[in-house]
Amino acid sequence: MKASQFYINTLKEAPADAEVVSHQLMTRAGMIKKLGAGVYTYMPMGLRVIRKVEAIVREEMNRAGAVECVMPVVQPGELWSESGRFQTMGPELLRVKDRHERDFVIQPTSEEAVTDIARQDLRSYKQLPKNLYQIQTKFRDERRPRFGLMRGREFVMKDAYSFDRDEAGAKASYQAMAKAYRAIFDRFGLTYRAVSADSGAIGGDLSEEFQVIASTGEDAIVYSTGSDYAANMEKAEALAPAGPRPAATQALTRTPTPGKSTCADVAELLQLPLTQTVKSLVLATDELNEQGEIVKSQVWLLLLRGDHDMNEIKVSKVPGLDKGFRFATVPEILAHFGTKPGYLGPIGLKQPVKLVADREVALMADWVCGANEEDLHLTGVNWGRDLPEPDLVVDIRNVVAGDAAPDGKGQLAIERGIEIGHIFYLGTKYSVAMNATFLAEDGKPRHFEMGCYGIGITRLPAAAIEQNHDERGIIWPDALAPFTVVICPVGMDRSEAVKAAAEALYADLLAAGVDVILDDRGERPGAMFADWELIGVPHRVTIGDKSLKEGQVEYQHRRDGEATKVPAGDIAAFVKGRLLA
């Protein structure tokens, strides 16, 4: 490609709404252009990156035996009612009515569409397993779209769906995808982790996220310093501390704490470590009648160490809370504790509550908690002596750095990540809902065992930039760069020698299949270099009249501090060598 034939439009300034570096740099490099909130045009320079992502994903999906199709963007609401998602999904599902007032949705994923295909086409176990994937436009009507391609409303996703005859087959399909995903992300040249994830609303019980490591990532991911263990924060288990519980050494004491309603404030006032304090969280569950009216409510008190945070996913799996819970109302709190939040605790209740202690709290001695009276806490609290043992002892907290790894090997560390892939074992969630069956070997209909597997095609370049940039711009890994090599002739219009050398190198690299661009725009060197550093092309060759007269040209990798002089005759071989490295 010659730059004069291409579409290059770099900007000095990022738009005011670009909060993250990938959004800033992709906009400044002319890779994306905002058309509306969360809706971007993939400009020629950006589209080249996206096409490289697509090509690698496609190759590895095909290699793993998946078959490509393309499902519609606009899908009938009827089908989405079969799975129930038309009703259960929130406003992030963009709903449309056509001219006949029929319901449609703009697909955010395609479980319904692909299950509808399977129940028509895959009639016998002999046709299984099958894995259908597409690389297609999706829409999710985010309440607050931002961060450019990181959290757009319209985006491109690769979504694959596997159909198997039984659970073992489905898990094998899942593992094949896990392997393909590693191959894909390895090829991109990104630093990433595959982490165990909670499978959440999508169902199933086996799920991994692929996270690109970046300090700006939205997700906290947890890994062990002593093993392969890795999980996202929602999923990472906090082990019970080594027991037994220490013996009580202090007497239970009512301690004035005027105006100190947080554990941190209380610990500071009493000059105790925060780890000695216990925080009280009050939840409630409701029993409904057939009309959906609340007939009975139960209040729950959850105890967590003062320095720990509640993990909502874990709480949602506690027996009794697993059918749904809510935070208690102020009247409920007053009725059970006799005081306002800030001074709550498990001792001296007006009405009984279900008492849930985090594993850590259950093994504490001489702890501090609210006294259920305003401006008053209890110190020297001890289980058994001052209050009965809790009803339940469970893991309900987020892990923190330094916790023991759940596999017993090493300690947990935490870093930030950007989710670019997610694989799920779905089981029969969709096939049962949509009555999608095949004839099994015994001649009886059986529901498909399914899995689904996503990669954020347009999010991936943004994640790559969050991981790979400097103050001058983007630094693409070779596999993702819009162009792998840029040739920058200086004074091409004034020097025939420069022009000839640039054209010769361009022709040589092109013939070798290198994705090279020759900057023949006639820009001044400073502007030209700034453009390519912003755009992030990894390999640059500069050809200038003066050094050419000395038989030299300059090579500089985007990460190099300075250029390397290379004999003009060797430059093509030199560049190819750098690409192989």
End-to-end CA distance of the chain: 23
Using CB under 8 A as the binding rule, whether residue 36 contacts a copy of itself is answered as yes
Instruction: Identify which of residues 45 and 485 has a Cβ nearer to a copy of itself in the complex.
Output: 45
Binding residue (CB under 8 A) for a copy of itself from 59, 109, 137, 270: 137
Q: Report the distance separating Cα 78 and Cα 180, nearest Å.
A: 34
H/E segment holding residue 503: helix 496-511
* Residue 424 CB-density burial (10 A; 0-12 exposed, 13-18 middle, 19+ buried): buried
Instruction: Identify which of residues 72 and 246 has a Cβ nearer to a copy of itself in the complex.
Output: 72
Phi, psi of 106 (to 5 degrees): -90, 120
Phi, psi of 311 (to 5 degrees): -105, 110
Using CB under 8 A as the binding rule, whether residue 68 contacts a copy of itself is answered as yes
For residues 207 and 170, the answer to whether their CB atoms sit within 8 Å is no
Binding residue (CB under 8 A) for a copy of itself from 54, 60, 111, 154: 154
Using CB under 8 A as the binding rule, whether residue 186 contacts a copy of itself is answered as no
Instruction: Identify which of residues 209 and 519 has a Cβ nearer to a copy of itself in the complex.
Output: 519
Using CB under 8 A as the binding rule, whether residue 177 contacts a copy of itself is answered as no
Using CB under 8 A as the binding rule, whether residue 47 contacts a copy of itself is answered as yes
Query: How does DSSP assign 181-240, residue by residue?
Result: HHHHHHHHT--EEEEE---GGG--SEEEEEEEE-TT-SEEEEEESSSS-EEETTT---PP
Compute the least distance from the CB of residue 341 to a copy of itself, in Å.
32
Using CB under 8 A as the binding rule, whether residue 139 contacts a copy of itself is answered as yes
Instruction: Identify which of residues 46 and 345 has a Cβ nearer to a copy of itself in the complex.
Output: 46
**Sign of the four-CA dihedral 382, 387, 389, 394:** negative
Helix 167-188, helix 44-63: angle, nearest 10:
140
Compute the least distance from the CB of residue 134 to a copy of itself, in Å.
9
**How far apart, in Å, are the Cα atoms of 373 and each of 267, 305, 348, 352, 389?**
18, 20, 10, 17, 22
Binding residue (CB under 8 A) for a copy of itself from 55, 67, 168, 335: 67
Instruction: Identify which of residues 114 and 267 has a Cβ nearer to a copy of itself in the complex.
Output: 114
Residue at token pair 């002892």: 393
Binding residue (CB under 8 A) for a copy of itself from 43, 284, 355, 434: 43
Using CB under 8 A as the binding rule, whether residue 78 contacts a copy of itself is answered as yes
Using CB under 8 A as the binding rule, whether residue 82 contacts a copy of itself is answered as no
Binding residue (CB under 8 A) for a copy of itself from 17, 92, 312, 550: 92
Q: Report the distance separating Cα 411 and Cα 414, nearest Å.
A: 10
Compute the least distance from the CB of residue 154 to a copy of itself, in Å.
5
Using CB under 8 A as the binding rule, whether residue 12 contacts a copy of itself is answered as no
Only one of the segments 73-81, 177-185, 239-247, 368-376 lies at the binding site for a copy of itself (rule: CB under 8 A); that segment is 73-81
- 517 Cβ neighbours under 8 A, 6+ residues apart: 1, 2, 3, 6, 483, 485, 486, 487, 537
Binding residue (CB under 8 A) for a copy of itself from 21, 26, 28, 30: 30
What is the total count of residues that contact a copy of itself (CB under 8 A)? 51
CA 26, 30, 33 angle in degrees (round to 5)? 80
Using CB under 8 A as the binding rule, whether residue 172 contacts a copy of itself is answered as no
Q: Which residues here bind a copy of itself, judged by CB under 8 A?
A: 5-7, 9, 30, 33, 35-36, 39-44, 47, 50, 65, 67-76, 78-79, 91-92, 94, 96, 98-99, 104, 106, 113, 116-117, 120-121, 130, 132, 136-137, 139, 141, 143, 153-154
